[in-house]
Amino acid sequence: MQRIYLSPPHMSGLEQTFVQEAFDTNWIAPFGPHVDAFESEFAAQVGAAHACAISSATAGLHLSLILTGVERGDEVVVSDLTFAASVNPILYQGARPVFVDSEPGTWNMDPQLLAELLEQRARVGKLPKAVIVVHLYGQSADLDPILAACDRYGIPLIEDAAEALGATYKGHTPGVLGRMGVYSFNGNKIITTSGGGMLVSADAQLIAHARKLATQARDPAPHYQHSEVGYNYRLSNVLAAIGRGQIRVLEERVATRRHHFETYHRALHALPGVDFMPEAAFGRSSRWLTVVTFDPKESGVDRELVRLALEAKNIESRPVWKPMHLQPVFATCECAGGSVGEHLFEHGLCLPSGSNMTQQDLHRVVDTIRTVFKQSGHGRVADEHCVDALVKISDPVTVD
């Protein structure tokens, strides 16, 4: 049985034309016309004023922290439930992360907890230098109250939108509403350049400075002259060519992933103890990954039982991110709240969601999960719903 991956790359065919062009013109360089074109096409797609193509979202977050003046000993507030790459750049700067738990309705940063934390810090006269909000699994955080809390104290908001390209928040793409936003084109994201990222901002000077820092911080001089520390963080012209092919099919990719979500939902939602990541009323989730929670108290089926059953059928799935406050590397860091993220980590599982999955692939995942429920002593319940769902899964699904 062929392996079903969580979220593999999905090329459109257009990429090769652009890559061929890079070869034909010998622009096998870290700069070149595809980089400029990709930046402006990407900026137009997300509604950003300015964009700088970079080697990864991690690099983009690092640049964002440098550009907001984060230094040794500073505090930076960041979402607790996320991938370590949201946090590591804080450590690169010698600063200290302070984590904020999720809210149940979006699974993203709880705006109330953030507001309380900033209020407390203001009282003791020690405000954080920046806030990094993460938009998880294709869904935006509730940005308005988060921005309001930051604005009250003049703290810049950096958006980690690595997982949120294609999502909306009140008609905007998450990533463009903060001081700076970062996207990822890693191999498992909704579009990919194999590796890469984009840094966006409404501030032209910030992006110009980012571009300079990302290319070894050369001063404008004919010789090599440097008056600040630079980095090698730019995206190459060849990878930008792949990105140009990918950005053109973003909307199709979102539609397909939302379709997969609907298919999973219809086939599995009636199983006891099964719940899906909610979609907040303020916008559209790209459903980058379909995420399900399993409550063993209701069914006897826990997340690990399902994950191992899928693995036995050569199907990749992943537990929800392990909260940062539980990570050994960040064990001494402060965290506001924490129980929401802990609960999601314990019960949540990301299902294969690639836009190139076939209907048969979806069936294989669904059947495997149903079998777990049948064998767990809830067979009767599962069977009833399974028959129901089997009819439904082959129906055409419409998604807005």
Q: Which is nearer to ligand PLP, 53 or 206 (CB)?
A: 53
Least Cα distance to 136 among 112, 101, 171, 170 occurs for 101
Q: Token match 């190139």: residue? A: 356
Among 85, 165, 241, 335, binds ligand PLP (CB under 6 A): 85
- In sequence order, the β-bridge partners of residue 234 are 54
Q: Which is nearer to ligand PLP, 82 or 299 (CB)?
A: 82
Least Cα distance to 99 among 321, 347, 275, 292 occurs for 321
Stretch of 36-44, 80-88, 104-112, 299-307 lying at the interface with ligand PLP (CB under 6 A) = 80-88
Q: Does 86 bind ligand PLP (CB under 6 A)?
A: yes
Among 82, 140, 290, 317, binds ligand PLP (CB under 6 A): 82
Among 7, 15, 39, 56, binds ligand PLP (CB under 6 A): 56
Angle ∠(249,250,254) on CA atoms, nearest 5: 120
Q: Does 156 bind ligand PLP (CB under 6 A)?
A: no
Rounded distance between C-alpha atoms, residue 332 and residue 82, angstroms: 17
Q: Which is nearer to ligand PLP, 59 or 309 (CB)?
A: 59
Least Cα distance to 294 among 323, 324, 317 occurs for 317
Stretch of 22-30, 54-62, 248-256, 267-275 lying at the interface with ligand PLP (CB under 6 A) = 54-62
Q: Does 159 bind ligand PLP (CB under 6 A)?
A: no
Q: Which is nearer to ligand PLP, 286 or 368 (CB)?
A: 286
Q: Does 58 bind ligand PLP (CB under 6 A)?
A: yes
Rounded distance between C-alpha atoms, residue 340 and residue 86, angstroms: 19
Among 83, 107, 261, 330, binds ligand PLP (CB under 6 A): 83
Instruction: Name residues whose C-beta falls within 8 Å of residue 20's C-beta, 6 or more positions apart in sequence.
Output: none
Q: Does 186 bind ligand PLP (CB under 6 A)?
A: yes
Q: Does 201 bind ligand PLP (CB under 6 A)?
A: no
The C-alpha R_g of the chain, in whole angstroms, comes to: 22
Q: Which is nearer to ligand PLP, 294 or 321 (CB)?
A: 321
Among 102, 140, 184, 193, binds ligand PLP (CB under 6 A): 184
The CB-of-49 to ligand PLP minimum distance in angstroms stands at 22
Sheet holding 274-276, edge to edge: 274-276, 290-294, 348-351, 318-319
Q: Does 64 bind ligand PLP (CB under 6 A)?
A: no
Q: Does 75 bind ligand PLP (CB under 6 A)?
A: no
Q: Token match 């890693």: residue? A: 186
**Count of residues binding ligand PLP (CB under 6 A)?**
14
Rounded distance between C-alpha atoms, residue 374 and residue 380, angstroms: 7
Instruction: Name residues whose C-beta falls within 8 Å of residue 223's C-beta, 6 or more positions apart in sequence.
Output: none
The CB-of-162 to ligand PLP minimum distance in angstroms stands at 4
Among 111, 181, 197, 323, binds ligand PLP (CB under 6 A): 197
Other Cβ atoms closer than 10 A to 45:
17
What number of residues does the chain have? 400
50, 201 contact by CB (below 8 A)? yes
Q: Does 236 bind ligand PLP (CB under 6 A)?
A: no
Q: Is 313 exposed, middle or buried (0-12, 13-18, 19+ CB in 10 A)?
A: middle
Q: Does 256 bind ligand PLP (CB under 6 A)?
A: no
Q: Which residues bind ligand PLP (CB under 6 A)?
A: 56-58, 82-83, 85-86, 134, 160, 162-163, 184, 186, 197
